[in-house]
Structure formats: C-alpha cells, structure tokens
Amino acid sequence: MSDYQLFLASTTNGRKITVLVELLNIQSKVEIITIDLAKKQQKEDWFLKINPNGKIPALASKDSSNPFYLSESNAILQFLVSKYDTENKFSYPVNSNNYFKTLELSLFQVSALAPVQGKIFGVIRNLLHLSESDVNDLYTEIKRVYQVLEDILKSNNTGFLVGDKLTIAEVFVLPWIEKAAFSKIDLTQFPLLNDLLKRSLQVPEIAKGLAY
C-alpha cells in the first residue's frame, strides 16, 4: 500500500511533484489524486482540512494513527527527498552548503518567479486584464528573473543551478521555464537556461513528469 496521497492538478506547481515522483521512481509509495480546479474541488471542506490555503499540490499521510498534511510544492519536494532520496541522488545532505543554496533557490522561485509568470499566464489566458504599461512591467521583471537564473548557471559553470548535478533545484523551475514560449518569453535570450531545459527534457522521467 502507498504511504501518501498526493493531490495534484496539471499546473506548473503540480508538475513539479510528478517530475520528482518519476525521478525517484516512487509511484508505488504515493497515490496521485487529480483535483479538478475548474470544479473548485480545492475549496471543498474535505480538501481545506488537508490544505487550509485551498490550493494544490498537497500531501496527506495514509497512516491514520499519525496524521500528517503538507502543502506548498517546494516543501513537498523537500519532504519527498528526505523520505525517498536517502542517497542524495537529487538533493544534498541536510545542513550542507548546497542544501541551503537549494533552499535559497526554492524561495527565489516562489517569491520572484511564480508571482510574475503566474500573472503573465493570467494575461495570456485573458483572465487578468492589465494596462499595456503594466504588462510591459511584468515582462521587464520576468526577464530580470530569468537573467538571475542565467547568471546563477553562469557562475556555477556546472550546467546546474545548485552544485554539480540535477536536483530538486531544477524541479522548482523546470515547469515554469518549459512554459516560456507559452508565456511569450524568448528563452533563446537565456542560452544556459535554454540548454538546461533541453537537456532536462531528454531525461525520460522529467519528460514524463512534465507531461502530467
């Protein structure tokens, strides 16, 4: 029997989780339950008990004697590697410098990348109506954020965002970078980031996780 339920939808934050499930090969350990966001299942009482914030992704332990709920995609990624990546294939040991660089990237993704690209999704899907000048400001800011990621790759000089291997640091950003073209962001302006996306898409587990 699986250990955890994972409540997901096919969104950038949802796909972070499916990518890591594939990389860690833990499909038998977690049960994926798709939430219908259009039907607002994430706002139903039963779901709010799991995540009072009413958003996917969320994780719930199946051990009723030891209930445990976790939300925030990057916290779930950290939790899954702490449980199932004991050899640190896709993570770094707790308290190492690269562990904290991963935490830094996690917070940067949530605080800088997601809010701006999320608004751009809204504009493109015609759900958010902004003036031309506000839209221009969004693009100025998202290009600055992508350039920060490009500069991190340049200074690391390993092809990866943290240390010298593909880790959850990439998983934080890949579902967003993959949507650059949809977001009308020219990824060729960020060659190292573009190359990271291309290399990552050649990893079958990542391609499968992103296709969820």
Ligand X SMILES: N[C@@H](CCC(=O)N[C@@H](CS)C(=O)NCC(=O)O)C(=O)O
CA separation for the pair 60, 30 (Å, rounded): 10
Q: Which of residues 82-111 bind ligand X (CB under 6 A)?
A: 110
> Should residue 54 be labelled a site residue for ligand X when binding is judged by CB under 6 A?
yes
For tokens 């109506």, name the residue.
129
Q: What is the SS3 string spanning 13-73?
A: HHHHHHHHHHHHCCCCCEEEEECCCCCCHHHCHHHHHHCCCCCCCEEEECCCCCCCEEECH
Among 11, 18, 117, 167, binds ligand X (CB under 6 A): 11
CA separation for the pair 151, 128 (Å, rounded): 30
CB of 119 to ligand X, least distance (A): 12
- By beta-carbon proximity to ligand X, the closer residue of 18 and 73 is 73
CB of 23 to ligand X, least distance (A): 18
- The site that binds ligand X (CB under 6 A) totals a number of residues, namely 13
CB of 10 to ligand X, least distance (A): 9
CA separation for the pair 176, 109 (Å, rounded): 9
Stretch that binds ligand X, among 53-61, 78-86, 124-132, 199-207 (CB under 6 A): 53-61
CA separation for the pair 178, 140 (Å, rounded): 19
> Should residue 37 be labelled a site residue for ligand X when binding is judged by CB under 6 A?
yes
In the complex, which residues of this chain contact ligand X (CB under 6 A)?
11-13, 37, 42, 54-57, 72-74, 110
